[in-house]
Structure 1
Amino acid sequence: MDWTILAGLTAGLLISLVTAPVGVSGAVFLLPVQFSVLNVPSPSVTPTNLLFNVVAGPGALWRYRCDGALRGGLARRLITWTLPGVITGAAIRVFALPGPDVFRMLVAALLLPLGTWLCLRTLRPAQQRPDAAEPSAPALAALALTVGVVGGIYGIGGGSLLGPILAARGLPMARIAPATLATTFTTSVAGAAAYAVLATASSGPVEPDWLLGVACGLGGLLGGYLGARLQPRLPETALRLLLGSLAAGLGALYTVQTLY
């Protein structure tokens, strides 16, 4: 077996095992692995990431569905607005924004302070709001559309951005995780299809690395199922600290990569 396939399978499993309990597919953490370790070219890295989400997503979603955690309208509202955004983002990625530098700066500027603040807030029990309401319909639509565009450009699905933002509003992780994973899966299917169409109009490396994407996804399929099964057994405080730490850690990583 090619070492890159084994590395992709292992990376997908470990990343999804950690991120699925907090509603993140793990694609945003797989992105630097593809760039730095697996040497996937840009912009092919984006549809490869989307392919990972498509293959890995059903593992965690099936577990959350069995637990009844997918009930409610939050996922439906997020999906409605992220879908047009991800298609728009795919077109921007192929024709206008092939490099990763802008993405790294944007992610660092958003997730580093947000993740740090979420961790600090979680450590103050009086600030937790398990009965908090989700954002208003216009605010949720604007948020989902923006995240959809960013996800379409960089192949991250959007859960890594939606999760910390909704958690910062005080929504419990039991509501956030299933909704953001469902959104990530749906938008990734649409994004992967958009890239397949756009590949016919571009001479660059736009198609995904199919073998590597599937290998990472199969690892994520197992890791996501196990992570989702673990989620109900973890306390809310631990989940929020995990999400905040992941967000801040990713922001710090991209800050370093941007500077150096």
Structure 2
Amino acid sequence: MYFPVADIELSPFIPPLVACAISFFTSMAGVSGAFLLLPFQVSILGFTSPAVSSTNHLFNVVAIPGGIYRFIKEGRMLWPLTWLVVIGTLPGVIAGVLIRILYLPSPESFKIFVGLVLLYIGIRLCLDLIRKNAPPKTPQTSKHFQISDTHLDIHSLQYTFNGNSYRINTLAVICLSLIVGLIGGIYGIGGGAIIAPFFVTIFKLPVHTVAGASLMGTFITSFIGVLFFQILSLSSLAPDQIIAPDYMLGILFGLGGVVGIYLGAMTQRYLPANVIKTILATIILFTSAKYILFS
């Protein structure tokens, strides 16, 4: 099957299978898998134009709703955190899209940027794994596995999960989300892969409560990212660049992602947080080293 925007020929079964496998593992940590799907497109498929970022955003739009539904169904969607993430990331994503088109159009510079982003994510996860004080084990079946007693004001967000109370600063979350949105807009991941490790390592929130909010934030910002890329493709800002998404390729990736994210969200509660983080950290650091050393 020929994909004209990506300018590649590929079996239509490969994109959904790859996306399903990646998303199954990454969705357990609140990450859609787009941050690993992009290296696959760039290095394996040879899709290196700025359109790869918009295609990655499209993957998020198609793939994430299944996982969101699962987290809502299980009572683990932290809505106040979701809206704080969206408020911060939206302007950052728009700025990131412009930076990608105007200043990082070449494959070489973009690969190095991707490698550095992945390296940072991997280091944050490793630091969290080696902490001496491990989080308490979450019961697999209990009413305490649901988020409760949420309260949001201009100063802080508070909630209860697994018998423990958590509190984070509202302004800090918005500022972090703005920076994450900027990077996510450039990379084409919506920001979830960056902000989820931050919530776990810096704000000390349990990964089982962060995942739903991170996926929802990624879905909304990626939807805006796709629209913005499409609008810019019709403008005179980048007349010599292909920046609109490859819709057929993005949808095929997304269909596989729907299955993978749903199954990952369903399986997450049965795996310890450290197992999830170890899988992610290993894959991320390997990919980062490849991009930085061999770009």
Tell whether the 8 Å contact from 1:43 to 1:98 is kept in structure 2 after alignment: yes
- Report whether the alignment pairs 1:155 with 2:188: yes
* Count of residue correspondences: 258
Tell whether the 8 Å contact from 1:90 to 1:191 is kept in structure 2 after alignment: yes
Q: Percent identity?
A: 38
- Quote the residue 2:269 is aligned against: 232
Structure 1 residue 209: deviation in Å? 0.9
Tell whether the 8 Å contact from 1:132 to 1:171 is kept in structure 2 after alignment: no
- Report whether the alignment pairs 1:165 with 2:172: no
Q: How does 1:18-57 map to 2 (within 5 A)?
A: 18-57=25-64
- Quote the residue 2:279 is aligned against: 242
Distance in structure 2 (CA, Å) of the matches to 1:163 and 1:247: 14
Distance in structure 1 (CA, Å) of the matches to 2:168 and 2:286: 26
- TM-score under structure 1 length normalisation: 0.89
Tell whether the 8 Å contact from 1:47 to 1:191 is kept in structure 2 after alignment: yes
- Report whether the alignment pairs 1:180 with 2:214: yes
Tell whether the 8 Å contact from 2:68 to 2:215 is kept in structure 1 after alignment: yes
The structure whose residues are more often helix, as a share, is: 1
- TM-score under structure 2 length normalisation: 0.79
Distance in structure 2 (CA, Å) of the matches to 1:102 and 1:214: 27
Structure 1 residue 183: deviation in Å? 0.9
Q: How does 1:102-121 map to 2 (within 5 A)?
A: 102-112=109-119, 115-116=122-123, 118-119=125-126, 121=128
RMSD: 2.3
The C-alpha deviation readout for 1:200-239, integer Å capped at 9, x for no partner, is 1132211111111100000001111011100011112222
- Quote the residue 2:249 is aligned against: 212
Structure 1 residue 240: deviation in Å? 3.0
Structure 1 residue identity aligned to 2:169: S
Distance in structure 1 (CA, Å) of the matches to 2:41 and 2:223: 20
Judged with a 3 Å threshold, the aligned counterparts in structure 2 of structure 1 residues 234 and 220 are, in CA distance, closer, same or farther, namely: same
Structure 1 residue 11: deviation in Å? 1.1
Match for 1:140 among 155, 173, 176?
A: 173
Judged with a 3 Å threshold, the aligned counterparts in structure 2 of structure 1 residues 102 and 56 are, in CA distance, closer, same or farther, namely: same
Distance in structure 1 (CA, Å) of the matches to 2:167 and 2:188: 25
Distance in structure 2 (CA, Å) of the matches to 1:216 and 1:246: 19
SS in structure 2 at match of 1:225: helix
For structure 1, list consecutive stretches of 5 or more residues without a partner in the other structure.
Answer: none
Match for 2:93 among 67, 86, 94?
A: 86
Tell whether the 8 Å contact from 1:89 to 1:150 is kept in structure 2 after alignment: yes
- Quote the residue 2:6 is aligned against: none
Structure 2 residue identity aligned to 1:224: I
Judged with a 3 Å threshold, the aligned counterparts in structure 2 of structure 1 residues 165 and 61 are, in CA distance, closer, same or farther, namely: same
Structure 1 residue 125: deviation in Å? 4.6
- Quote the residue 1:192 is aligned against: 226
Structure 2 residue identity aligned to 1:147: V
SS in structure 1 at match of 2:45: coil
Distance in structure 1 (CA, Å) of the matches to 2:167 and 2:287: 25
- Report whether the alignment pairs 1:95 with 2:102: yes
Distance in structure 2 (CA, Å) of the matches to 1:100 and 1:148: 21
- Report whether the alignment pairs 1:64 with 2:77: no
Bigger radius of gyration: 2
Judged with a 3 Å threshold, the aligned counterparts in structure 2 of structure 1 residues 243 and 176 are, in CA distance, closer, same or farther, namely: farther
The C-alpha deviation readout for 1:22-75, integer Å capped at 9, x for no partner, is 111111101111112222241110111011010001111111111111134111
SS in structure 2 at match of 1:5: coil
Tell whether the 8 Å contact from 1:70 to 1:179 is kept in structure 2 after alignment: yes
